Amino acid sequence: MQQEAGVDGEALEVWIDQDLCTGDGICAQYAPEVFELDIDGLAYVKSSGDELLQAPGATTPVPLTLLRDVADSAKECPGDCIHVRRVSDRVEVYGPDAE
């Protein structure tokens, strides 16, 4: 089991708002273990078992080893559709709604 990433020791999860996704695939280039483009041209998160999670608002844990790549994906996303938040209180730490 991979150790999950955290800010101040708290677990993080990531999700994508497909309504805002532009399909550029930058996220999949930064972190292909976490993100993937589907046949519809939109990006989705993947489970730790590499399964594409297509339900709206589906989240997946952020592995500690991929925190920088996932954070960079959120920062560079032209659609501002990648949201990384703390699991405990659902506060966004990277992405368009980050404090």
pLDDT at 1: 38
Q: In the chain, how many domains are there? A: 1
**Where does the pLDDT of residue 99 fall: very low under 50, low under 70, confident under 90, or very high at 90 and above?**
confident
- 30 domain-assigned: yes
Q: Which two tokens stand for residue 29?
A: 């280039």
> Domain holding 79: CATH number?
3.30.70.20
Task: Identify which of 4, 7, 2 has the alpha carbon closest to the alpha carbon of residue 91.
Answer: 7
Measured CA to CA in angstroms, residue 16 lies from 8, 9, 46, 89, 93 at distances of 23, 23, 11, 18, 14
pLDDT at 42: 97
73-91 as b/e, with b when 16 or more CB fall inside 10 Å? bbeebebebbbbbbeeeee
Look up the domain containing 67 and give its range: 6-94
* Residues 60-93 pLDDT 10s: 999 999 999 999 999 999 999 999 999 999 999 9
Q: Is the pLDDT of residue 4 over 60?
A: no
- 99 domain-assigned: no
- 65 domain-assigned: yes
- 21 domain-assigned: yes
- 42 domain-assigned: yes
- 19 domain-assigned: yes
pLDDT at 51: 96
* Residues 8-62 pLDDT 10s: 568 999 999 999 999 999 999 999 999 999 999 999 999 989 999 999 999 999 9
pLDDT at 2: 45
- 1 domain-assigned: no
pLDDT at 39: 96
Asked if residue 6 lies in contact with residue 64, where contact means CB atoms within 8 angstroms, the answer is yes
